[in-house]
Chain A
Amino acid sequence: MVEKAQEKALKELDEFGNQLLEKLNKKEAPSFQIPSRTRSNVEFDEEKEIIDITGKKSTRSFINASHVRKFMQTLLVARAAEEYIKNNRTVSKRELYYNLKHKLPGTNKNTWDDDNESSAVIDDLEATLGIVRQQMNVSAKSRGSIYGDITLKQAGDEFSCKKLGKGGWAIPGNVEDVEIVDYNAELILFIETEAMHSRLVEEGSYDDLDALLVTGQGMAPRGVKRFLKRLQDETDLPLIAFTDGDPYGFYIYSVLKHGSMQLAHVNDYYAVPNSKFVGMTMDDIDKYDLHNVTENLDEQARKKIEHNLNYEWFKYHPEWIKEMKKMRKKGVRIEQQALANKSLDFVAKTYLPEKIENEEFLP
């Protein structure tokens, strides 16, 4: 059974192969174009409000000595992806690496020597074909989970994410074949830490807030990001992020909203530009009198603030800049769990309902 997302991948792979073949038939050296993924080719697209790559492309040609190996590797992965999709098998990056590692006929050379090579080729292929690896049945790491009143279907199984125990449904690396059957919620709440996620599940926030509680356990992996993107797209529920009040937490939010630089070529698939940020903010410290549970910023965190201040997509939001500057000035950070200082249910009964009700968000 081939899903819709995979169908697109198959079509793209097919086109990719035929395009090469066409050149061959014209007795030209086969080549293809890869949108450049170098940092200098990454920019913030203010219209789409995502981090994107510019139009710059580089050509990878069979007859270029410094390209030919990668050319071979790209075809190797393209061929394998087609096979994975057709056989309905999903592999991890590491599996793909081992699966396709072998000696080139008649030589001592390997198709690749380490998984940096295979990873780079997967990224290239994503950029070239304009699809994500999951569509080629190469899954990302599975980490993170969702809890709430939503019924999903995968591989023929239908399940409610409220009836899978306290942990909810573990979001797999590949969510392309996940179908949203039904849901009963007002918003999607992305929670940075797993501990806070558990707390909110235990406190029944999914009911109180009518929220789908999603955690990525730190920086959200591709699976979670893709799932959030699909969820938001298909339900049109607001996505609200709840992270630690530090430069890392805020960066995690920025990735959720505008995408990451590493995945600039596929941010369309991941970024949710209309998401909002509920906290923690520097103002929360004063408002909820959390001064005694802040922690001092260390050198690294200060550097991270400076980095954040320099990103175009941070500058795009004066509020973000203001927040970072406040943080810098205060010299402290505040964790989500510091709210437990008030009481364990403070976050669920007071903090979140208040802020969400009053729409105290950062853009």
Chain B
Amino acid sequence: MPKNQQFKEFQEHSVAEFFKKNRQMLGYSGKIKSLTTVVHEYVTNMIDAVEEEEDNLPEAFVKIEEMGPEHYKVIVEDNGPGIPENYIGKAFGQMLAGTKFHRFMQQRGQQGIGAAGAVMFGQVTTGKPTKIITGQGDGKILECELSIDVKKNRASINNKKTYSGEMKGTRIETELKNVLYQKGRYGIDEYLRRTVLANPHLKLTYVDPEGKTIIYDRAVDDIPPKPKEAKPHPRGVTVDDLLGYALRSNSHKIKSFLRNDFTRISGKKVKEIQKKISFDLNKMPKDLRWDEAEELVQTFKETDFMRPPTDVLVPIGKKRLEKAVEEQLEPEFKQVVERKPKVYRGGVPFIVETALAYGGKAGNNNGDNEIEIMRFSNRVPLLFNKGTCAITKAVKSVDWDRYGIKDNTPVTILVNFTSIHVPYIGAGKKSIAEEEEILNEIRLSLMKTGRKLGKYLKGKRRQRKRLQKKKTFEIYIPEISKSLSEITGKKEEEIKKHLQSIVKQRFSDIKEDE
């Protein structure tokens, strides 16, 4: 019951209070991290928004301006559908009110706190509103300033200007203080680099505080398939989730709520569940108590359900990821592994994708002597809380040495975890919980990439040896040709050609790219 209470309180909190209380959890701790978090929130929102539209390839512009000491302006612009005037407040000003919260669907952002948090952070540190410029491609442009009325828990929009001009998309400008721009593994540069890797259809232009422009071109030109909405599977829900769904349900009875709002719960199953539990499922969903929800979740665990459909997941895709890795890391060797969808907690489908890149720009970007790990969940780079993340743990659990991969081997490992429900540790969405099935999947795919690289490295070593061996023949060819020519009167050049072709044939396994 105290949990239930908490949930209700949570809803009643004002944005300001929520933000203050959960600031750290939301990623706004530390000067470098806070800046990265703001960019992250805007960029993920932006890509999700663009993808909502059919046939639109996302193109983003990110610019960081230095306004003074620990004072920056973040500008993010997209080519999305633009935002109608009356939705601006909802889109940016209200926490938990984003479109995402009510949808059980694989998306980058998950809880709808994101953009509002960023707006809030700007407002708290500078006292200034966030500027929004948006156009829907209809010849009109709307410019306004958005701030959050902390008392009313509502967005307030001021200095509204409408003018004509060609614009399709949205531009956000937020000023921030107490933040710091820095390169390195927690910085924006790295965040964006990784974003591009996981979103090969994204074109990104980035202007850093020094005015340097980096253009990341698309690695692929096709739009990835849209994730489908899917109802939750009974095995995948927590008590919290269940209560949340119950509260928002339109059904009049828990019976129908279960049948309508979940996948794989048939009328027959409802009857089976009813037999196992102590309360009547004919009651109103919103009257579901915490202890009853607990009982239900427990009963779900003891009941057999069909596995959830897994076609609702859209991973990056093997070919796309390969192209992205090729384009961004220009590796000497790459291996992408896409595993079949699996289920964790008995009901949550997920897919693990792994890429391993060797050589080229891969590995050791931050100067530390270890394998570079790039973590992603639903294509969003996870930069922080590396240590607690299932991906990191899986990487560390593999005996890379066995594949001839040492600490200083230039290797980048990329793992993208795709799921409708990512089991984050904390609301900061920075690391993935160590679910056994997840850990296993990541481990298995990593081992496969390791094996492949190991084989490649072995081949390379062999190749080097073969090359040396080939040389031992080649250095003697001129002398032999000359002698044999003098003995037989045959043209030296002809003998040389013959000998060379014999060596070439013998070493036909060696690539001709020396």
Q: Which residues of A contact B (CB under 8 A)?
A: 13-14, 16-18, 20-21, 24-25, 27-30, 62-63, 65, 68-69, 71-72, 75-76, 78-79, 82-83, 104-107, 109, 111
Contact = CB atoms under 8 A, between A and B. Distances in A.
The 6 closest A-B pairs by CB, nearest first: A17-B487, A79-B483, A75-B483, A17-B488, A72-B476, A105-B478
Contacts of A30: 484, 499
B487 A104 contact: no
Contacts of B498: 24-25, 27
Given A14-B488, A63-B473, A75-B483, 5 more contacts: A13-B487, A65-B473, A75-B484, A76-B479, A105-B478
Interface in B466-498: 469, 472-473, 475-476, 478-480, 482-484, 486-488, 490, 495, 498
A250 to B, nearest CB: 43
A24 B475 contact: no
Given A68-B473, A78-B483, A79-B486, A106 B478 contact: yes
A62 B495 CA distance: 13
A17 B495 CA distance: 12
By secondary structure, the A interface counts as: helix
B275 interface: no
Interface stretch (B75-83, B159-167, B500-508): B500-508
B2 to A, nearest CB: 79
A178 to B, nearest CB: 27
Contact of A18 (B488, B495, B502, B503): B488
A71 B486 CA distance: 16
A109 B475 contact: yes
A107 B475 contact: yes
A14 B480 contact: no
A76 B484 CA distance: 8
30 contacts: A13-B487, A17-B484, A17-B488, A20-B484, A20-B488, A21-B490, A27-B501, A27-B502, A29-B506, A62-B502, A63-B473, A63-B502, A65-B473, A68-B476, A69-B476, A71-B480, A72-B476, A72-B480, A72-B483, A75-B480, A75-B483, A75-B484, A79-B484, A79-B486, A82-B486, A104-B475, A104-B479, A106-B475, A106-B478, A111-B479
A351 to B, nearest CB: 54
Contacts of B469: 65
A237 B284 CA distance: 134
Interface residues of B, number: 22
A79 B480 CA distance: 10
A104 B483 contact: no
Most buried by B among A27, A65, A75, A78: A75
Nearest to B475: A107
Contacts of B484: 17, 20-21, 30, 75, 79
A82 B484 CA distance: 11
Contacts of B506: 29, 63
B499 A24 contact: yes
A71 B490 CA distance: 18
Contacts of A27: 498, 501-502
B476 A78 contact: no
Most buried by B among A17, A27, A78: A17
Contacts of A69: 472, 476
Given A62-B480, A69-B476, A29 B487 contact: no
Given A62-B480, A62-B499, A63-B502, A79 B475 contact: no
Given A24-B495, A76-B479, A104-B478, A62 B487 contact: no
B305 to A, nearest CB: 65
A109 B472 CA distance: 10
A60 B473 CA distance: 14
A270 B232 CA distance: 100
A14 B487 contact: yes
B476 A71 contact: yes
Contacts of B486: 79, 82-83
A17 B472 CA distance: 22
A30 B502 CA distance: 9
Nearest to A72: B476
Contacts of A63: 473, 502-503, 506
A106 B484 CA distance: 19
A63 B490 CA distance: 20
A16 B472 CA distance: 24
Nearest to B478: A105
A207 to B, nearest CB: 50
A62 B483 CA distance: 14
Contact of B479 (A17, A21, A72): A72
Given A63-B473, A63-B506, A68-B476, A79 B499 contact: no
